[in-house]
C-alpha cells in the first residue's frame, strides 16, 4: 500500500526511505520527497551527463531538464527498473540529444572508430600524467584525473564514468547504452588501458571525488527544479511563512 502523500516542504523524510515510497509521495505532490530524490541522484546524473558533454554548465542544464521531464511524468515509473536507472536513462537521452544538436549526427556505435589508434593516444595523452609530483594535492590530483578522462574517446569515456566511477553494473550500462555487455567490457578495458593501470592504482582513492556535485551546486539545482515544478503547477505554491 502506498504511503499517504505529504505536501509539506518541511516534512521529514527518512534517509533510508525506499525509492517506491519516494515516488508515491512525489506523485502525490510531496515537495520533501521531490527534494530527496533530486539530492539522492544529483551526482550520478551529473556525472553521466558530463561524461557525454565534457562541460559542467551543460551537464547541469541536462540534469535540471532530466528532473523536470521525470517529475512531469513520474506516474509513468512502473518500478520495472530501479529509479536510478530510470532517471539515468532520461538524463542520458537528454545529453545525447544535446550532443547530436551540437554537431553533425553520427551513429553512437560508429564513434568507436575514432579510437583505433589507442596505443598512440596512450603515449601522447598520458605520458605527462605518469610521473606526478610527490607533493601534488588531492584537489590537483582530482583535476588531473578529470582532464585525463576528458581526453578519452567518447564511447570509452561514457562507459568508464558509468562503470568505474558510478559503479553501475556491466548489465545496467549495456541496457542504458543499448549495446552488448561484451561491448561494455571491451570499451571499459580499452579506457582503463588508456588511463594506465599504474595511474589508476596511484590515484584510486581520489576517484570518489571526481566531478563533484554537492554543496551549493546540488542545492542550486534542487531549488531551480522546485521553482520550475511550481511554475508548471506540478507542485503547489510555496507555503507562506508564519
The CATH number of residue 176's host domain is 1.10.10
Same domain membership, residue 149 and residue 118: yes
Name the domain count of the chain: 2
Query: What grid cell was written down for 199?
Result: 595511474
Same domain membership, residue 132 and residue 158: yes
Same domain membership, residue 126 and residue 48: no
Same domain membership, residue 96 and residue 125: no
Domain span at residue 231 reads 15-105+212-242
Same domain membership, residue 143 and residue 56: no
Question: How far apart are alpha carbons 218 and 142 in whole angstroms?
Answer: 19
Note the pLDDT of residue 183: 96
Same domain membership, residue 130 and residue 96: no
Q: What is the DSSP string of 30-82?
A: -HHHHHHHHHHHHHHHHHHHHHHH--HHHHHHHHHHHHHHHHHTGGG--SSS-
> Is 7 part of any domain?
no
Q: CA 56, 62, 63, 68 torsion: positive or negative?
A: positive
Note the pLDDT of residue 161: 93
Greatest pairwise CA separation for the chain in angstroms: 65
Note the pLDDT of residue 85: 92
Same domain membership, residue 93 and residue 26: yes
Same domain membership, residue 186 and residue 117: yes
Same domain membership, residue 155 and residue 98: no
Q: What is the pLDDT along the chain (242 residues), one digit of tens a residue?
A: 233 333 444 467 888 899 999 999 999 999 999 999 999 999 999 999 999 998 999 999 999 999 999 999 999 998 888 999 999 999 999 999 998 887 654 444 444 444 444 433 433 333 344 444 434 567 777 787 887 888 888 999 999 999 999 989 999 999 999 999 999 999 999 998 888 754 655 556 666 677 777 778 888 899 999 999 999 888 888 766 55
Note the pLDDT of residue 187: 95
Note the pLDDT of residue 236: 85
Note the pLDDT of residue 27: 92
Same domain membership, residue 207 and residue 112: yes
Note the pLDDT of residue 89: 93
Q: CA 136, 142, 145, 151 torsion: positive or negative?
A: negative
Note the pLDDT of residue 242: 54
Amino acid at each position: 500500500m502506498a504511503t499517504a502523500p505529504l505536501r509539506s516542504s518541511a516534512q521529514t523524510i527518512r534517509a533510508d526511505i525506499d525509492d517506491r515510497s519516494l515516488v508515491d509521495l512525489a506523485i502525490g505532490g510531496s515537495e520533501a520527497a521531490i527534494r530527496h530524490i533530486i539530492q539522492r541522484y544529483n551526482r550520478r546524473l551529473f556525472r553521466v551527463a558530463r561524461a557525454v558533454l565534457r562541460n559542467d554548465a551543460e551537464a547541469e542544464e541536462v540534469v535540471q531538464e532530466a528532473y523536470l521531464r521525470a517529475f512531469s511524468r513520474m506516474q509513468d515509473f512502473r518500478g520495472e527498473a530501479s529509479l536510478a536507472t530510470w532517471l539515468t536513462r532520461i538524463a542520458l537521452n537528454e545529453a545525447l540529444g544535446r550532443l547530436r544538436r551540437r554537431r553533425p549526427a553520427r551513429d553512437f556505435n560508429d564513434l568507436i572508430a575514432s579510437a583505433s589508434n589507442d596505443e598512440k593516444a596512450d603515449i601522447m595523452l598520458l605520458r605527462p600524467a605518469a610521473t606526478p609530483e610527490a607533493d601534488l594535492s588531492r584537489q590537483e590530483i582530482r583535476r588531473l584525473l578529470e582532464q585525463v578522462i576528458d581526453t578519452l574517446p567518447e564511447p570509452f569515456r561514457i562507459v568508464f564514468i558509468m562503470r568505474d566511477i558510478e559503479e553501475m553494473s556491466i548489465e545496467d550500462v549495456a541496457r542504458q547504452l543499448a549495446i552488448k555487455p561484451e561491448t561494455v567490457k571491451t570499451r571499459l578495458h580499452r579506457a582503463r588501458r588508456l588511463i594506465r593501470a599504474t595511474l589508476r592504482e596511484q590515484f584510486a582513492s581520489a576517484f570518489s571525488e571526481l566531478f563533484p556535485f554537492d554543496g551549493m551546486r546540488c542545492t542550486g539545482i534542487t531549488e531551480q527544479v522546485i521553482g520550475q515544478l511550481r511554475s508548471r503547477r506540478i507542485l503547489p505554491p510555496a507555503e507562506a511563512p508564519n
